[in-house]
Amino acid sequence: MALKQNVNNTIRRSWWNRLLPVSIRHNARLIFGSVFALIVTGVLVGTFQIRPIVFASANVLDISNVTFNVAGNQDFFDTSVPHRLELAINDIEYQQMVRDFQVLGEKSWVLADATIDGVYIPSVGIRLKGNSTLFSLGGDGPMGMQARFGGLGEMMPGMEEMADNLVGGASFENPSSLPLLLSFNEFFPGRAFQGYPELAIRPANEGSSSMNEALALQLIADSGQVSQDFSWVEFSINDSASATRLVIENPNQQYAYRINQGRGVLYKSTSDNEFEYKGEDLTNYVDDFDQLNAIGNMDMAPVINFLRWIDSATDEVFDAELAERLDIPSFANYVITQDLLGNFDDMAGPGRNFLFWYSLETSKFTVITWDMNLALIGNNPMAAMMGGGPPPGMGGPGMAPPGNGGGFTPPPGMTPPPGMPFPMPEGDEFNMLDMFANMRDMIPGMPTIGNQLKDRFVASEFFSAEIDIAREELSTLWTVDYTNRVIDRLSLAIPPSANLNSEQIALDIEQLKQNISAMLR
């Protein structure tokens, strides 16, 4: 059939053919379908914002990898408003997480969906988090020990029931009791929630609000030291009974930016870190430190240089040259912070908990506090095994032990493990460090206690004046009255839940205030 022609004898084409190239016309259905899908997605998930967070100033060594930021409905770390965190995970994924830990001793990432303060976030990653806090879950757990607590019952007959509550009482039968790391970018690279790629859901004892850890973090921040943001949530998994849990930001690349320490590299110590020189091979330190930022621009060389120096330094050289390599006033504050707040599990504790910041501007290291869930528990030497902390003042050699440190009486039928005396001695006779050392000699895989940097610093007369200054300044700030006011303010943010009612919260707060009165007087 002949085509219609205009008076100039040219082919008359429709506007569709005239305006759109052939390649677009041939793929029109695909293009329009994609546009429609984007519109629908925008309507359904309008709380999401694609917002590249770029750091390109001279203060950083690399560029943030956050390109998709979930804004949320309210500031997650605003403790003046209540928060709720729900996770949905199918049974196959959950059983994989259980099996990988119990059989392989691995903390594997599995897929879940999260809802935070009403904002749905699909395809997040979750995994178990912690070391000693996972003992009660069994498997070839942390610290090289078989952490199956039939095994603990064999080691300590009569403690089977106590083992059920060991270090937070986490149980796979009660998913909302698990200490977890929540990642927004594990299965969705570049995604963050309000700028945070990860959140740590902290361990908690039954009947505990975790106020001790939140208070410690707040006091540290109030003193001008680097701390972590925190918030309480009413937490549940798969519509399980809700639990009251503390959530804090997890140290990572974004955290290295947020602490605003200038140009530098942030390293996180692992629980296997013995803080010793192992030669020049970088791979010798992969199990000791995780490098959190400046990947590709920096490596472990600054840490290796420091360890080489301290390993060979005599006491005289240590005193004379440490200030060239370490921020001395900051480290004195760190040491006294752990001492006053009774945090046994610091850089010298079994968990080796600390962050190590290296400044490229000063060529000095700064030790940053991390993991305060064993702080401010009080004078109960068994607390370190039961989800709390040991007596205050056990920060390291040179720290005077407090009075009333013992007095624990074992339940009927309980046999103490090797190296642990029962009943616990009272007062100055009790020494948590000696107890752990004795147990380490008897139990294969027990971690060593101590850190050569902290131990030598505290033992040195040369640095005693700096330590005294730090103690005076922090003791003046952290008075009992001041601390109780902080507790009263923070306690308003703790949400009751199915596992922690208002009466239990009040009892927990009262016990903490009693601990404070004994520790900070």
pLDDT value at 203 more than 80: yes
| Residue of higher predicted confidence among 346 and 53 | 346
pLDDT band at 178 (very low <50, low <70, confident <90, very high): very high
pLDDT digits (tens, 9 = 90+) for 260-272: 899 999 999 999 9
CA distance 261 to 345: 25
CA distance 84 to 37: 30
Strand-pairing partners, residue 200, are: 181, 248
| Closest to 348 measured CA to CA, from 390, 387, 313, 309 | 390
3-state secondary structure of 320: helix
Region 52-70: what's the mean pLDDT?
Answer: 61
Name every residue whose Cβ is closer than 8 Å to that of residue 369 and which is 6 or more positions away in sequence.
Answer: 220, 225, 226, 227, 334, 337, 338, 343, 346, 354, 355
Instruction: Of 80-94, 133-147, 171-185, 226-240, give the lowest mean pLDDT range.
Output: 133-147
Region 57-62: what's the mean pLDDT?
Answer: 51
Per-chain mean pLDDT for the chain: 80
pLDDT value at 451 more than 70: yes
pLDDT band at 65 (very low <50, low <70, confident <90, very high): confident
pLDDT band at 384 (very low <50, low <70, confident <90, very high): very low
pLDDT value at 458 more than 80: yes
pLDDT digits (tens, 9 = 90+) for 5-27: 444 444 455 555 555 555 555 55
Q: Do 420 and 439 meet the contact criterion of CB atoms below 8 Å apart?
A: yes
pLDDT, residue 443, reads 52
| Closest to 512 measured CA to CA, from 291, 210, 254, 306 | 210
- Long-range contacts for 72-78 (Cβ within 8 Å, ≥24 apart)? 72/47, 72/116, 72/117, 72/119, 72/193, 72/194, 73/47, 73/117, 73/118, 73/119, 74/117, 75/194, 76/116, 76/117, 76/193, 76/194, 76/196, 76/231, 76/247, 77/229, 77/230, 77/231, 77/249, 78/231
Look up residue 517 and give its two tokens.
């009165």
pLDDT band at 444 (very low <50, low <70, confident <90, very high): low
pLDDT band at 520 (very low <50, low <70, confident <90, very high): confident
pLDDT value at 74 more than 70: yes
Percent of residues, the chain, with pLDDT higher than 90: 59
pLDDT band at 423 (very low <50, low <70, confident <90, very high): low
pLDDT value at 130 more than 50: yes
pLDDT value at 311 more than 50: yes
What is the model's pTM? Answer: 0.78
Instruction: Of 145-149, 352-356, 367-371, give the lowest mean pLDDT range.
Output: 145-149
